[in-house]
Amino acid sequence: MLLVLRSAAEQGFIYSLVALALYLSYRTLDIADLTTDGTFTLGCAISATMTLAGHPLLGLVLAIAAGAAAGGVTAVLQTKLGVPSILAGIITMTGLYSVNLAAMGSKSNLPMLKEENVFSMAQALFGSAYKLVVAGVFAAVCAVLLGLFLRTRLGLSIRATGDNRDMVSASSINPALMTTVGLCVANALTGLSGALLAQYQKFSDIGLGTGMVVIGLASLIIGEVVVGRGGILRGVLAAVIGAVVYRIIIALALSSSVDANWIKFFSAVIVAIAIAYPTVKEKVLFYQKRRREAKKYAQH
Amino acid sequence: MLSIEHVSKTFNPGTVNEKKALEDVSLHLERGDFVTLIGSNGAGKSTLFTAIAGGFVPDSGRIVLDGRDITFLPDYRRSREIGRLFQDPLKGTAPRMTIEENLALAYLRASKGGGGIFSTIKAKDRDFFREKLATLGLGLENRLTQPVGLLSGGQRQALTLLMATLVTPKLLLLDEHTAALDPATAEKVLELTKKIVTQQNITCMMVTHNISSALELGNRTIMMDGGRIVFELSGEERRNMTVEELLRRFKQQTNRQLDNDRMLLTRE
């Protein structure tokens, strides 16, 4: 059981980078960035190929750069070329499918069971908990860096772009540029997350990123339920904690013989409920009020 | 300081919705001029402001600010030198960000060299913000880390005014910026506007629906109608002008009554 929890935490830390990316793109910039699915696999693919070539660290660096580039493509499509933002993400994601296959040498999956990777490199240093330490350090460093970044001048400008566009161009900030920077940083995080996962499970697959945007959002929303919303510190914490809690829930579900096929379905349900909640609440209140008023006047 | 030269703009040309928003508008402002703008609904006052601020490129004519042709400059580049306040007090501030973060964004305009894109808000900046906020007299100097979304409309508009003038702009555009506030708050924001504009000697244009304050504030008054400047008042003539006389003059020049729904309610 402890082992199950530990591996859930390890995976949670790795996936938390996606939740952090979505905190930036979805919560901060207010863009549902579907590039995420493609970028995650892109990170996996590059990392796997580079690990097989004997350069696991370089694989992480390249995954970050490739992720940023993918985010840049989506950003240019929507800010410069007038493609609606959701469609821009879908276009990049679709294009990335072929790129990802190419990055894995035209194979749909790529095992790398014996090659050295960033986790095995740390094994000598940290003993048996090495995977948890490596994943935790990556999550912590990324969370802290993102938190600090959002307080800088550039970060403030990005946040304002998502908060009040009118105000941004009136403050001599170029909103298109800020959207681009935001999406590049977010997808760099997603790419790194994919790269770490591939090395962690010693395996890359073309389908690993499918539904990643929903899983990331589900994690973020769960985290927000736990630590609350408002402020950067809370947001960043919510992403990391949420991702870990999400993986623990999945692990518990799997160990209690729930069919693994349904995991993505439940992620989708969590996200749909969480996002629909305010609207449903409003409707319920409206119907309650209508019934109450109707009763009141029926008595007269 | 500002030269608008034969600017024209037609929206939806060639369709049934064709609207000549600006027709051959020319205007020259000297440094320190405070121009008040009045006119009917749809006279082109806000459109003129949007043209100056860079919301669209005019069909013809050019706009020169301080010797530089800005006709084709994008809006965010112009806003380094042009401050603008809208009627909607929510437009000028980012609600989920704190007061100090909003001010820091406004401060970006000036400190091009100061610190680079990765610099953060320093204690020195906070002192400066606190000092500036104190001049508003709204107690905001003690609420630096609160989200702006918690402030009232009047407080937000006062904050926007402070942000627009934190770094003295070459030109300040006030588009009925007190119209959506309650009378007492509107009065207060207008007082603040007068104080800041006078102290920093800002070249300023203000749209208002209140004719008496249009005549009282600033040094020039411009009447617009149907996308044109109908007449301009300044100096002696303006000092002696009354609201009644101005309305008579409008009718005489355009052959119709001044119809501005808000204006009718606030005539004094």
Residue A180, burial from CB neighbour count under 10 angstroms (0-12, 13-18, 19+):
buried
The minimum CA-CA distance between B21 and chain A, rounded to whole Å, is: 22
Q: What is the pLDDT of residues A133-187, one digit of tens each?
A: 999 999 999 999 999 999 998 999 999 999 998 888 888 889 999 999 999 999 9
* Residue type for position A174: N
B77 contact A CB<8A: yes
Helix (H), strand (E) at residue B25:
strand B19-29
* Residue type for position B217: L
Q: Name the pLDDT band for B161 (thresholds 50, 70, 90).
A: very high
**Which letter does DSSP use for residue B126 in this model?**
H
**Which letter does DSSP use for residue A201 in this model?**
H
- Alpha-carbon distance of A178 to A28, in angstroms, equals 11
Helix (H), strand (E) at residue B6:
strand B2-11
What average pLDDT does this structure show over A113-142? 90
A261 contact B CB<8A: no
The answer, yes or no, to whether residue B150 has pLDDT greater than 90, is yes
- The number of beta carbons lying within 10 Å of the beta carbon of residue A217 is 25
**Which letter does DSSP use for residue A127 in this model?**
G
Give strand ranges (E) for B53-134.
60-65, 68-69, 82-85
**Of A46-50, A140-144, B135-139, the least confident:** B135-139
Helix locations, chain A, DSSP H:
2-22, 35-52, 56-79, 85-103, 118-126, 130-149, 153-163, 165-169, 175-201, 212-227, 232-255, 263-299
What average pLDDT does this structure show over B62-72? 93
Instruction: Answer whether B93 sits within 8 Å of A167, measured CB to CB.
Output: yes
Helix (H), strand (E) at residue B211:
helix B211-216
- The number of beta carbons lying within 10 Å of the beta carbon of residue B256 is 10
* B222 contacts B232 by C-beta, under 8 angstroms: yes
Give the nearest partner residue to A172 out of B80, B94, B121, using CB atoms.
B80
A299 contact B CB<8A: no
Q: Name the pLDDT band for B111 (thresholds 50, 70, 90).
A: low
What average pLDDT does this structure show over A17-43? 95
- Alpha-carbon distance of B99 to A179, in angstroms, equals 22
Name which of B156, B151, B186, B193 is nearest B172 in CA terms: B193
- Alpha-carbon distance of B210 to B212, in angstroms, equals 6
- Alpha-carbon distance of B20 to A91, in angstroms, equals 40
pLDDT at position A237 is 95
What average pLDDT does this structure show over B27-37? 93
- Alpha-carbon distance of A188 to A63, in angstroms, equals 7
Q: Name the pLDDT band for B260 (thresholds 50, 70, 90).
A: low
A11 vs B246, residue with greater confidence:
A11
What average pLDDT does this structure show over B127-155? 91
- Alpha-carbon distance of B35 to B27, in angstroms, equals 11
Residues of B within 8 A of A169 (CB-CB) are: 75-76, 79
Domain spans of chain B, in order of start: 2-81+169-266
Q: Name the pLDDT band for B98 (thresholds 50, 70, 90).
A: very high
Instruction: Answer whether B97 sits within 8 Å of A160, measured CB to CB.
Output: yes
Task: Give B103's strand partners.
Answer: none
Residue B191, burial from CB neighbour count under 10 angstroms (0-12, 13-18, 19+):
exposed
Name which of B253, B184, B195 is nearest B222 in CA terms: B253
- Alpha-carbon distance of A75 to B225, in angstroms, equals 42
What average pLDDT does this structure show over B124-129? 90
pLDDT at position B266 is 52
What average pLDDT does this structure show over B178-200? 90
Residues of B within 8 A of A168 (CB-CB) are: 76, 94, 105
pLDDT at position B110 is 63
What average pLDDT does this structure show over A123-135? 87
- Alpha-carbon distance of B204 to A182, in angstroms, equals 35
pLDDT at position A18 is 97
- Alpha-carbon distance of A40 to A208, in angstroms, equals 8
Rounded percentage of chain A residues whose pLDDT exceeds 70? 100
| Assigned fold of B2-81+169-266 | Rossmann fold (3.40.50)
What is the strand order of the sheet B2-11 is part of? B19-29, B2-11, B60-65, B68-69
* A87 contacts A26 by C-beta, under 8 angstroms: no
Residues of A within 8 A of B83 (CB-CB) are: 170
- Alpha-carbon distance of B46 to B228, in angstroms, equals 12
pLDDT at position B264 is 54
pLDDT at position B250 is 85
Positive or negative, the Cα torsion across A104, A106, A110, A114? negative
Mean pLDDT of chain B: 88
Name which of B177, B152, B151 is nearest B164 in CA terms: B177
Tokens of A169: 């161009």
- Alpha-carbon distance of B65 to B11, in angstroms, equals 24
pLDDT at position B259 is 66
Q: Measure the CA angle with vertex A164, ends A162 and A168; round to 5°.
A: 95
- Alpha-carbon distance of B112 to A173, in angstroms, equals 12
Q: For residues B221, B226, B230 and B232, what is the CA-based torsion angle, rounded to 10 degrees?
A: 20
Tokens of A257: 């013989």
Q: Name the pLDDT band for B113 (thresholds 50, 70, 90).
A: very low
- Alpha-carbon distance of A17 to A143, in angstroms, equals 8
Question: Which of the residue ranges A192-196, A230-234, A267-271 has the most confident prediction, judged by mean pLDDT?
Answer: A192-196
Instruction: Answer whether A153 sits within 8 Å of B104, measured CB to CB.
Output: yes
**Which letter does DSSP use for residue B113 in this model?**
S
- Which of A:202-231 have CB within 8 Å of B? 230
The answer, yes or no, to whether residue B268 has pLDDT greater than 60, is no
Indicate the pairing of strand B68-69 with strand B60-65.
antiparallel
**Of A19-23, A102-106, B255-259, the least confident:** B255-259
The answer, yes or no, to whether residue B238 has pLDDT greater than 60, is yes
Task: Give B37's strand partners.
Answer: B207, B222
pTM for the model stands at 0.87
The answer, yes or no, to whether residue B267 has pLDDT greater than 50, is no
Residues of A within 8 A of B115 (CB-CB) are: 153
A67 vs A129, residue with greater confidence:
A67
Predicted ipTM > 0.90: no
Q: Measure the CA angle with vertex B4, ends A173 and B215; round to 5°.
A: 95
Helix (H), strand (E) at residue B250:
helix B243-254
- The number of beta carbons lying within 10 Å of the beta carbon of residue A280 is 10
- Which of A:112-151 have CB within 8 Å of B? 148-149, 151
pLDDT at position A250 is 85
Residue with token string 């007038």: A82
* A135 contacts A10 by C-beta, under 8 angstroms: yes
Mean pLDDT of chain A: 91
